[in-house]
Amino acid sequence: MYRSGTVMAWNVFKFCTALRGLGSIMILLVLGVVGVTYYAVVITNYGPALYDGGLYSLTAFAVLILFHCLLGMLLWSYFSVVFTDPGSVPPNWKPALDEERGDTDPLTGSEFGGLPADQANPRIRYCRKCNQLKPPRCHHCSVCGRCVLKMDHHCVWVVNCVGALNYKYFLLFLFYTFLETGLVTLSLLPHFIAFFSDSDEEIPETAGNLATTFLAFVLNLAFALSVLGFLIMHISLVSANTTTIEAYEKKTTPKWRYDLGQKRNFEQVFGMDRRYWFIPTYSEEDIRRMPALQGFEYPSKPDLDAQEF
């Protein structure tokens, strides 16, 4: 009986690892939705409307400008999440102090004693899969097969873990996706209504254009509603300085030890330079103090360049 349970657990982790194979498919799916939306909005409906003249041309111009700006920010944020390492544990990392316990005295080598840390000192976290110590708020991802700093979750849509160093980009991806899909839904709504009405308003002439407009409206409406829920959830997590994984733990803790107040909680994710809050990058100053902003410190010199993060 124990043997079968072990096999089942192993098969589950094998299935998680196999999820990496979805990477190219999910990226192509996202680009496919973007392509269908672009064709429906720009090629089929609002692009030709630029030549109609009058107020409708002005409206079409405004919609196209806003559409392309939001699309550019969406894709920039998306690929920033995809290609940014969420944060891994530095080799041979050891804590300068027992942060889990709140001690101020540095840990000495004798406290480790050559044993796994969870045996030598149960308050120091140790990953049995990676065979290394784990900093506070670090979790092992079964899909990526490694420990991730301040891990929030593994997202199949971005084919990457969402962690300390790309959480801001993930939130901006949700934010611009909601704005873009909301804009597309509203801009295609008159064409969608005209499709089911008996009015004489012009609608796309070919069956292909009709199908593309209908599909784009339904897809963007569905994404706008679903992303809104995720966005609200993550805003509440950021305001409390917690992650999706830590959400349950926070509910069972009288006072959440990482809550620094809403302003500082926000700055831990988005940085302290307001000019960079809504773009998927950090200022040089924020990069230099990134370890402190994210709530952990690397055992390295303070003046680090972006490549070391």
Return d(Cα 90, Cα 92) in angstroms, integer: 6
Burial class (CB in 10 A: 0-12, 13-18, 19+), 57: middle
Q: What angle do CA 156, 26, 212 make, to 5 degrees?
A: 130
The pLDDT of residue 198 is 54
- The answer to whether 129 and 138 are in contact (CB under 8 A) is no
| pLDDT greater than 70 at residue 63 | yes
Query: Which residue's structure tokens are 């700006």?
Result: 69
Q: Which residues of 288-309 are buried (b: 16+ CB within 10 A; e: fewer)?
A: bebbebbbbebeeeeeeeeeeb
Range 186-192 average pLDDT: 90
- CA separation, residue 83 to residues 76, 159, 160, 248, 286 (Å): 11, 9, 8, 29, 20
Cα Rg of the chain (Å, integer): 24
> Comparing C-alpha atoms, which of 288, 278, 285 is closest to residue 309?
288
Range 283-308 average pLDDT: 56
| pLDDT greater than 50 at residue 3 | no
| pLDDT greater than 50 at residue 4 | no
pLDDT tier, 160 (very low <50, low <70, confident <90, very high otherwise):
very high
Alpha helix (H) residue ranges in the chain? 2-18, 23-38, 47-49, 54-83, 117-120, 167-196, 207-239, 247-251, 262-270, 284-288, 290-294
Three-class secondary structure of residue 265 per DSSP: helix
Higher-pLDDT residue of 62, 295? 62
| pLDDT greater than 50 at residue 274 | yes
List pLDDT tens digits, range 222-273: 999 999 999 999 999 999 999 999 988 777 777 888 898 999 999 999 999 9
Instruction: List the catalytic residues.
Output: 155
Highest mean pLDDT among 29-43, 86-100, 131-145, 197-211: 29-43
Specify the amino acid at residue 208: G
- CA separation, residue 29 to residues 25, 36, 73, 208 (Å): 6, 11, 18, 20
The pLDDT of residue 111 is 37
Strand partners, 141: 146
Domains of the chain, residue spans: 9-86+166-248
pLDDT tier, 6 (very low <50, low <70, confident <90, very high otherwise):
very low
- The answer to whether 168 and 76 are in contact (CB under 8 A) is no
| pLDDT greater than 70 at residue 308 | no
Return d(Cα 217, Cα 119) in angstroms, integer: 56
What mean pLDDT value characterizes the chain?
A: 79
Higher-pLDDT residue of 206, 149? 149
Higher-pLDDT residue of 22, 174? 174
Against a cut of 0.85, is the pTM above it? Answer: no
Range 44-52 average pLDDT: 89
> Comparing C-alpha atoms, which of 13, 33, 28, 24 is closest to residue 215?
33
Residue 21: what are its φ and ψ, rounded to 5°?
-65, -15
DSSP state of 88: B
The pLDDT of residue 95 is 76
List pLDDT tens digits, range 29-46: 999 999 999 999 999 999
Strand partners, 97: 106
The pLDDT of residue 113 is 35
Query: Which residue's structure tokens are 């849509």?
Result: 157
The pLDDT of residue 22 is 65
- CA separation, residue 44 to residues 70, 209, 224, 296 (Å): 19, 6, 21, 50
List pLDDT tens digits, range 118-142: 444 446 788 888 888 888 889 999 8
Range 60-77 average pLDDT: 97
Cα of 230 vs its chain's centroid, Å: 10
Kindly state the tokens that stand for 212.
């593309």
The pLDDT of residue 130 is 87
Tally of CA atoms within 13 A in the half-sphere of 153 that contains its CB: 15
Count of beta carbons in the 10 Å neighbourhood of residue 160? 23
The pLDDT of residue 93 is 78
